[in-house]
Amino acid sequence: MDFTRRDFPEGFLFGVATSSYQIEGHRFGGAGPTHWDSFAATPGNVVRAEDGATACDHYHRWAEDLDLVRDLGADVYRFSTSWARVLPEGTGQPNAEGLDFYDRLVDGMLARGVKPAATLYHWELPQALADKGGWRNADMPDWFADYTEVIMRRIGDRVWSAAPINEPWCVGWLSHFEGVHAPGLRDIRATARAMHHVLVSHGRAIEVMRSLGMSNLGAVCNFEWATPASDAPEDVAAATRYDAIYNRFFLGGLFKGAYPAEVLEGLGPHLPTGWQDDFATIRAPLDWLGVNYYTRKLVRHVDGPWPHTGEAPTRLPLTQMGWEIYPDGLRDFLIRNAREYSGDLPIFVTENGMANPDTHNTPDGPRIDYLTSHLRAVQEAIAAGAPVAGYYVWSLMDNYEWSLGYEKRFGLVHVDFDSLARTPKASYQALARWWRA
Catalytic residue numbers read 167, 351
What is the Cα–Cα distance from 223 to 215, expressed in whole angstroms? 25
Closer CB to ligand FCB, 19 or 161, in the complex: 19
The region, left, alpha or beta by phi > 0 then psi within -120 to 50, assigned to residue 106 is: alpha
Residue pair 103/145 in contact by the 8 Å Cβ criterion: no
**CA of 366: how far to CAs of 120, 356, 362, 426, in Å?**
32, 7, 11, 10
CB of 282 to ligand FCB, least distance (A): 21
Shortest spacing between CB 210 and ligand FCB, in angstroms: 25
Largest CA distance in the chain: 58
280 forms bridges with which residues in the sheet?
Answer: none
Q: How far is the CB of 71 from ligand FCB (least distance, A)?
A: 23
Distance CA 363, CA 357 (A): 11
Closest to 12 (Cα-Cα) out of 379, 261, 344? 379
Ligand-binding annotation for 311, yes or no, is no
Q: Which is nearer to ligand FCB, 332 or 398 (CB)?
A: 398
Closest approach of Cβ 101 to ligand FCB, in Å?
20
* Shortest spacing between CB 295 and ligand FCB, in angstroms: 10
**In terms of CB distance, is 181 or 193 closer to ligand FCB?**
181
Q: Would you say 111 or 318 has its CB closer to ligand FCB?
A: 318
Give the footprint of ligand FCB on this chain (CB under 6 A): 19, 22, 166-167, 170, 222, 292, 351, 394, 401-402, 410
Q: CB within 8 A of 339, min separation 6: which ones?
A: none
- The amino acid at 311: E
Residue 83 annotated as binding site: no
- Please report the DSSP string for 304-372 in residue order: SSTT-EEEPPP-S-B-TTS-B--HHHHHHHHHHHIIIIITTS-EEEEE--------TTS--HHHHHHHH
End-to-end CA distance of the chain: 14
Strand partners of residue 31: none
CB of 74 to ligand FCB, least distance (A): 17
Using alpha carbons, list the distances in angstroms from residue 144 to 147, 227, 396. 5, 36, 27
Question: Residue 281 in 3-state DSSP?
Answer: helix
Instruction: Between 169 and 279, name the residue whose CB sits nearer to ligand FCB.
Output: 169
22 assigned to a ligand binding site: yes
Q: How far is the CB of 50 from ligand FCB (least distance, A)?
A: 14
Nearest to 243 by CA among 380, 176, 337, 354: 337
- Output phi, psi for 425, to 5 deg: -90, 175
Is 10 part of any known ligand binding site? no
Residue 94, CB half-sphere, CA atoms under 13 Å: how many? 18
301 marked among binding-site residues: no
Q: Is 294 annotated as a binding residue?
A: yes
Comparing CB distances to ligand FCB, the nearer of 14 and 410 is 410
Nearer to ligand FCB, 170 or 375 (CB): 170
**Distance between CA atoms of residues 18 and 399, nearest Å:** 8
402 is in an annotated binding site: yes
427: helix, coil or strand? helix
Q: Taken in order 35, 40, 42, 45, is the CA torsion positive or negative?
A: positive
CB of 357 to ligand FCB, least distance (A): 15
Whether 84 and 53 have beta carbons less than 8 Å apart is answered as: no
Nearer to ligand FCB, 394 or 435 (CB): 394
| Residue ranges at the known binding site for substrate | 22, 122, 166, 294, 394, 401-402
| Residue ranges at the known binding site | 22, 122, 166, 294, 394, 401-402
